Amino acid sequence: MLIAWTTVASRPDAERLAAEIIALNLAVCVQIDGPVTSVYRWKEQVERATEFRLSLKFLPGQSTELSAWVQANHPYETPEWIVVRASEVGEKYLSWAGALPTNPPL
């Protein structure tokens, strides 16, 4: 199982992305956290922003399509997109995730 993170500026953007990702079967679960405070450098300035973090859980077979979809539909010019492989996943959770459809409905 893979886990990815991205952030957006508003709860409505987070809700929209999460709902569309699940509707398209691009991930098995999306959780929304926030607001969180992000401090970062952008165009030679230190910035501080209130954001909402999305944690996405998905299977390796969904990775390429999910990444492409996020890049194409994210409201930011340069979206955060960090993916890690879970080193341990509960057997029941992984079984549940594997039983879900992994292709968008026609």
What tens digit of pLDDT does each residue of 37-67 get?
999 999 999 999 999 999 999 999 999 999 9
CA 2, CA 97: separation in Å to the nearest integer? 11
Q: Where are the chain's structural domains?
A: 2-88
The per-residue pLDDT for 102 is: 62
- Do residues 7 and 39 make contact, with C-beta atoms less than 8 angstroms apart? no
CB-count exposure of residue 26 (10 Å: 0-12, 13-18, 19+):
buried
Determine the number of helices (DSSP H) and then strands (DSSP E) in the chain. 3, 4
Domain range 2-88, CATH architecture: 2-Layer Sandwich (3.30)
**Beta-strand pair 82-85/29-42:** unpaired
Per-residue confidence (pLDDT) for residue 100, from 0 to 100: 77
pLDDT-above-70 percentage for the chain: 94
Contacts of 45 (CB under 8 A, 6+ apart): none
In tens digits, the chain (106 residues) has pLDDT values of: 999 999 999 999 999 999 999 999 999 999 999 999 999 999 999 999 999 999 999 999 999 999 999 999 999 999 999 999 998 999 998 888 888 766 544 3
